[in-house]
Chains A and B, each alone.
Chain A
C-alpha cells in the first residue's frame, strides 16, 4: 500500500514537473524591441504597423518585411518568414514573435488583431443601407 502511494506520488510529481517546465519554456515573454535586442531570446513584441513606411515581399526567399512601432515607441524593421499575414491591413495591432538580430526583428510568426473582423460597426451598417 505504501509502495503504491510512493510510486503514484512520484509519477504525479514527475508529470507536474514535466508540465510546468514545458509551460514556462514555451510561454514566450512579451517585451519591447530594446529588451529583445539586449537579450537575444525569443520574445513577443506587440505594436503597431507603420503604414507610411515601405513593406516588401521577397518572393525568392519568401520573406515579408515591414516596419513596426512597439509600445515604447521604437520603430524597427520586422522580417517575417512567410507571406503577408491574413488581414494585415485591417489590424489595429500586431504581435510579432521571434528574435532580434542585426538591427532587425526576425519574426517566425505575426498575429494580427482585428476587432472589426466579425463585428459590424457603425461604418459598416451605413454602407449596407
Chain B
C-alpha cells in the first residue's frame, strides 16, 4: 500500500508534465500546423487525463480500504462511514477538492477537444486549456494528497529499535537501521456538518460548473489568437450557457443544503464560500447576454471578450479568497491555512492567466472593428447591454464585499468582514434594475422599437404586476418601498416573459429557452421577497408535554429519541388547522470535543415552510438550583436566608497532609442568617491525588426545609485576601408552590411564506438553460457566418 501512494504521487507529477507538454505541442502546432505535432499534442493531453484518472482512482481505493498510513485518508475518513459518504471524503479536504477540480477540467477538455477540432479551434483553444490543466495539476504536485502520516507527525509516530509486541499497524521503513512507524487504526472521520447526502452530490455539480468556467476564457483567448472576433461567439456560447446552468444548479443546491440541514435559517448567507461561486456565475450570465447582441449585430466584440476573460479570472480569484487562508477568522467557515506554497501558486495562477488574457487582448485591441452603433436606446440591444452591465456591477459588489478582510487589512490594519446588510443594500437596487430590464428587454424590438406598439405590449404585464404588488402589500404588508418595487419589477419580468414566451412558443418552440430562464429568475426573485422579507420568527421554550401557541401553530415537545451514541432527534408535534405533523430536529453532541451540532427540520406546505431549528435542551429539574457567587463579607439573600462567605479554612494539619502528598481538606466558611439565628456552615473540598471533590452540606432551616449547599469553585485573591470569593450552588428544597419543571426544549420556529417559489423558479431556470443549450449548440454546428433569424 505504501508503494501505491508513492506511485500515484509520481503519476500526478508525470501528468503535470504531460499537460504542460500538450500546451507546448498545441502551441507549436498552431504555428506550424504539422499533423505530427497535433498527434503528439492530443496524446499528451490524453496522457494527462489518464494520469489524473489513475491517481484519483488510487486515492479513492486508499479511502475505501481505510489506509490510514496516508494523512489525507486519516484526516477526513473513518471506518464507520457509510459507503456513499466514505466516497465523498475524496473531496472533503483541500487536496482532494483540487483533484476533483483538475479531474473534471481534464474530462471537459476531452469534450472540448472534439468540439473545437470540428470548428477549427482545436490547436489554439487546447493550447490554452492544457496550460490551465497543467496549473491545476501543479497544485496537486505541491499539495500532494498521498503524503504519509508519519511525515506529518514524525515525533509521535516514527520510532526506532525493536518493535514491541502487541502493537499493530506498524510499517517498517528501514529494516537495516531499525526504523519503523506506527499509524492510526481509525481515521478522524468526516466533519459531522458534512455528513449528509448533499455532500455526495453537491460538490460534484459545483466543481463541474466551476471547471467549465475555464472554457469561455479559453475560447476568447483562442479567438484573439486567431483574429476571429466574430464567429467565436457562436462557438463559445453553448459552453457559457452550459457552465451557467451547472454552476447555477450547484449554487442553489448549496443554498438548499444550508437551509434544509445546516440550519442557517435561510438559503443564502452571503458567506465567502457561497459568494466565490456566485461571482463567476454572474459574469458568465452577463456574457451570455452581450453575446446575444454580438450574434445579432456584430457589436460588443470587446465586451464579450472581456467578460469571458473575467469569468475565469474571477473564478480563480474566488478560489484564492477561500483557499489561501487570507480571509482568516472573519467567517463562520474555518479556512485552513494551506501554507505559503499554495498561497503564492494561487496568486501566480491569477497573474499568469490575467497577463495572457489581457495581454493578447491589448495587443489586438486596435484590430477589432468598432461598428457604428445601429441600435437606438429604445431597443433590445441596449436593454441587453444594460442588463449585462448591471449583472457585472452585482459581481463587483459581491467581490468587494467578499474581499473586505483584505481591503480592511490594507486600510485599517485589521481584517474585518462586511455585514449581510452590505450585500442587501447594494444588490437590492441592482436587482430591481435587472428584473425591470429582463422584462423590458423581451418586449423591446431589436434595433429600434416603436413607442406605440411598445406601450401596448407593456400594458397587460404592468397591470398584472400592479395587482401582484398590491396583493403582496395588503396580505403581507411592508413599509419598505424598495421591497415593493422589487416585487413589482419581478412580477413585471414574470408577466412580460410569459407573454413573449407564449408568442415565441407558438412560432418556434425551440426558441423559448430565454423566456423560460427569465420566468425562472422572476419566480425565484418573488420567492426571495416572500420567504426572506416576510418571514416570521419566534424563539420558544417547550416544556415536555405542554403545548405552546405561536404564529397560529401549536407546538408540543413530545420527547427525544436516541439515534446513535451522539445524535438525538427531538420530536415536536406541530398542529395547524386540521393538520397534525411531527418534526424531528436533530442535535448532535460530541462529548470528546464538547460541541453541539444542530440540524433543523421543516414541514413543507404548499404556501409556506414551517421551520424548526433546535437551540438547546435543558434537563428536567425537581428542585431549583441557584448558582451564587459570593465575595467575602458581602451577604446575599436567597428565599429569606442570608448567605455570607467568611473565608477559607485551611488548618495546619491539613497543610501538613498536603505537604506529605496525602488526602487533605479545605473548607469554605459560610454564615447563614435564618431569621434571628446565625449559623456557620462549612463547605468541604476533599483533595486527593485523583482530583478535587466538592462535598455537599445540608442546612435545615427554622421552618424545617432542607437546603443543600455545594462549593463549585474557590477564587482566593492573593493580593487582597479580603476580596476572595467562592461560587456555590444551592439546591432549594422541594416546594409545592414551585412547580417542577419538565425537560425543556428550546427551539427557534419560523415561517417562510412561499419559499416553494424559489425551488420552482430554480427548476424553471434550469429548463430554460437546457433549451438554450440545445438551440445554441445546434447553431454552433452550422458553419458559416449567417446572421440568425430575426425574432426571439
Contacts and interface: CB of A to CB of B under 8 A. Distances in A.
A and B bound? Answer: yes
A119 B336 contact: yes
A80 to B, nearest CB: 12
- For chain B, give the interface size range: 35 or more
Contact of A89 (B539, B595, B615): B595
Given A28-B419, A54-B727, A128 B184 contact: yes
Contacts of A88: 595
Contact of A59 (B93, B185, B541, B596): B541
Contact of A52 (B75, B188, B539, B713): B713
B378 interface: no
Contacts of B595: 86-90
Contacts of A119: 75, 336
Interface in B593-640: 593-598, 615-616, 618, 627, 629
A114 interface: yes
B156 A125 contact: yes
Interface stretch (A19-27, A33-41, A99-107): A19-27
A27 B416 contact: yes
Interface in B398-422: 400-401, 404, 407-408, 412, 414, 416-419, 421-422
B552 to A, nearest CB: 21
A25 B425 CA distance: 11
B416 A30 contact: yes
Given A15-B393, A29-B416, A125-B157, 6 more contacts: A19-B397, A23-B422, A87-B595, A111-B330, A113-B329, A118-B334
Contact of B616 (A83, A113, A125, A126): A83
Interface of A: 15, 18-19, 22-23, 25-30, 44, 52, 54, 56-57, 59-60, 62, 82-84, 86-90, 93, 95, 111, 113-115, 117-120, 122, 124-126, 128-129
Nearest to B540: A62
B74 interface: yes
8 contacts: A59-B618, A83-B616, A86-B597, A119-B336, A120-B152, A125-B74, A128-B186, A129-B184
Nearest to B741: A59
Contacts of A129: 169, 182-185
A82 B627 CA distance: 21
A-B pairs with lowest CB-CB distance, top 10: A26-B422, A128-B184, A89-B594, A26-B419, A113-B329, A83-B615, A62-B539, A26-B418, A22-B425, A59-B541
Grouping DSSP codes into helix (H, G, I), strand (E, B) and loop, the B interface class, with mixed when no group exceeds half, is: mixed
Contacts of B396: 19
Interface string B141-153: 0000000010011
B254 interface: no
Contact of B594 (A19, A90, A125): A90
Given A18-B426, A128-B185, A90 B593 contact: yes
A87 B422 CA distance: 27
A125 B153 contact: yes
A27 B186 contact: no
B155 interface: yes
B414 A30 contact: yes
Nearest to B744: A59
A15 B429 CA distance: 10
A77 to B, nearest CB: 12
Contacts of A22: 418, 421-422, 425-426
B596 A54 contact: no
B479 interface: no
A34 B260 CA distance: 41
Interface string B75-96: 1000000000000000001000
A59 B185 CA distance: 42
A110 to B, nearest CB: 11
Contacts of A57: 616, 618
B336 A59 contact: no
A111 B329 contact: yes
B730 to A, nearest CB: 14
B616 A84 contact: yes
Contacts of A125: 74, 149, 152-153, 156-157, 184
